[in-house]
A and B are shown apart, each in its own frame.
Chain A
């Protein structure tokens, strides 16, 4: 069965909504755009689309190969779509969580977080090399092995991404309470994009925020703490090549300077900001320092890193 790619159908809607948000931003001041930042995000989105066409075949080929090992044979019935959508979102939560805690995958995902703005164009700021990180093997295989058809898995995955577009906005403050309780919303996702220590590494959800609540990573947005967007070490450039490659280059430099296999593995697969002597700041250390600074107390004193290359 051939299923359409919902992302291609959504593109005109994306463009229309970005235009609407720009006009809304100008009239109300409740959202912010900056032309060069917007273009950088859109160029990253364009590159992501091209790389999807050129490299996406790797993932599709893997899924088709894997299909023969499926435990069940699930057909194209409505409940299977619904179940696949929910299970895919569960897998997305973990894939996303690992994308923030394993530098190899963070090097790819950091692109999406690299803008200091948070608007609908930020949703399209996507990496170019995702298939090469082999994330699809580690996280994309499960549904195929259960027995969902590859085309269905790809379809619900794309629907998940389409859902996530509209939550990249400051134009919507809060949705109804019942919706905030179950679904990922602009408010929840603003927290995810914020670099405030309180908000770092929180709200990994794609569609259903319940995963964060279940696994202890939920943080509500607070009125007394506005989100500051971007990454811990913000980029001083709009150059798409630098946006795309900066963390990869950082890994190459660090691994090549490693003094042992253990160090090299730590730089490659450790959390962003990991260093053998603890001289850089990971999210965990930033949170720890922040807790100490505001007097919350902390079980262990934080080291005093030289901060030569802070974590992102």
Chain B
């Protein structure tokens, strides 16, 4: 019995190794072949359309849109300025979130960028390349909630 379990575990380990090697090969092949481009947020309209596409029925304030200088992230407030829409480039796709101030853990400096920490383990950190004025807008959004 013990031997049978051991041999099963050996077969399983060998299987994991083989599939692991296949995975590594496909990653290498995919990287070599290319054919995909890193995503970027082109402009304000792109940020708004991404947000409105993902958050049906929510309107965003066109004048509040900020696209980061590296075009890898953007934010905009909902029309009522109660929630913040976030757009982040990930691989060749965009990921969005619609959060209230209570869902933002902290805003910290990270090198030349600012770092937004979300209470969301599926998107815990967003690096933002923003001007000091732009980051202040975000800080006010969070601090306003904390004062309230």
Residues in A lying within 8 Å of B, measured CB to CB? 15, 18-19, 22-23, 25-26, 29, 32-39, 42-43, 45-46, 49-50, 53, 116-117, 121, 197, 228, 230, 232-238, 242, 246, 249, 281, 286, 289-290, 292-293, 302, 304, 306-308, 310
Contacts of A307 in B (CB 8 A): 55, 58, 83, 98
B12 touches A32 (CB 8 A): no
B55 touches A310 (CB 8 A): yes
Task: Give the CA-CA distance A230 to B99 in the complex, in Å.
Answer: 20
B26 touches A19 (CB 8 A): yes
Contacts of A306 in B (CB 8 A): 83, 100
Partner of B57, one of A32, A45, A233, A302: A302
CB B21 to nearest CB in A, in angstroms, measures 11
B123 touches A237 (CB 8 A): yes
* Interface membership of B45, Cβ < 8 A: no
B100 touches A308 (CB 8 A): yes
A242 touches B16 (CB 8 A): no
Task: Give the CA-CA distance A234 to B91 in the complex, in Å.
Answer: 13
Task: Give the CA-CA distance A39 to B126 in the complex, in Å.
Answer: 22
B57 touches A46 (CB 8 A): no
Among B27-35, B107-115, B128-136, the one that faces the other chain is B27-35
Task: Give the CA-CA distance A50 to B19 in the complex, in Å.
Answer: 11
A286 touches B121 (CB 8 A): no
CB A117 to nearest CB in B, in angstroms, measures 8
Known: A242-B122, A289-B57, A293-B56. 15 other contacts (CB 8 A): A33-B30, A36-B91, A39-B27, A42-B22, A42-B26, A49-B15, A232-B54, A234-B95, A236-B88, A236-B123, A286-B56, A304-B57, A307-B58, A308-B99, A308-B100
A18 nearest in chain B by CB position: B26
A36 nearest in chain B by CB position: B91
CB A121 to nearest CB in B, in angstroms, measures 7
Task: Give the CA-CA distance A169 to B31 in the complex, in Å.
Answer: 19
List 20 A-B pairs, Cβ < 8 Å. Answer: A15-B26, A19-B29, A26-B33, A32-B36, A34-B36, A35-B27, A36-B91, A38-B27, A43-B23, A53-B12, A121-B26, A233-B122, A235-B122, A236-B124, A246-B121, A286-B56, A289-B57, A292-B57, A293-B57, A302-B57
CB B49 to nearest CB in A, in angstroms, measures 12
* Interface membership of B93, Cβ < 8 A: yes
B23 touches A310 (CB 8 A): no
CB B85 to nearest CB in A, in angstroms, measures 10
Number of A-B contacts (CB under 8 A): 110
Contacts of B20 in A (CB 8 A): 46
Task: Give the CA-CA distance A32 to B91 in the complex, in Å.
Answer: 12
* Interface membership of B53, Cβ < 8 A: yes
Contacts of B100 in A (CB 8 A): 306, 308
Contacts of B53 in A (CB 8 A): 228
Task: Give the CA-CA distance A281 to B98 in the complex, in Å.
Answer: 12
B83 touches A35 (CB 8 A): no
B19 nearest in chain A by CB position: A46
Chain B, 53-92, CB within 8 A of any chain A CB: 53-58, 83, 88, 90-92
The 5 A-B residue pairs with the shortest CB-CB distance in the complex, in nearest-first order: A236-B123, A289-B57, A26-B35, A35-B30, A42-B23
Task: Give the CA-CA distance A38 to B54 in the complex, in Å.
Answer: 23
Task: Give the CA-CA distance A68 to B121 in the complex, in Å.
Answer: 46
* Interface membership of B43, Cβ < 8 A: no
Task: Give the CA-CA distance A308 to B103 in the complex, in Å.
Answer: 8
A33 touches B35 (CB 8 A): yes
Given A32-B36, A308-B100, residue A46 in contact with residue B122 (CB < 8 A): no
CB A243 to nearest CB in B, in angstroms, measures 9
CB A283 to nearest CB in B, in angstroms, measures 11
A33 touches B36 (CB 8 A): yes
A117 nearest in chain B by CB position: B93
A50 touches B12 (CB 8 A): yes
A235 touches B26 (CB 8 A): no
B16 touches A50 (CB 8 A): yes
A247 nearest in chain B by CB position: B122
Task: Give the CA-CA distance A26 to B53 in the complex, in Å.
Answer: 28
Task: Give the CA-CA distance A103 to B33 in the complex, in Å.
Answer: 39
Task: Give the CA-CA distance A53 to B12 in the complex, in Å.
Answer: 8
B34 touches A26 (CB 8 A): yes
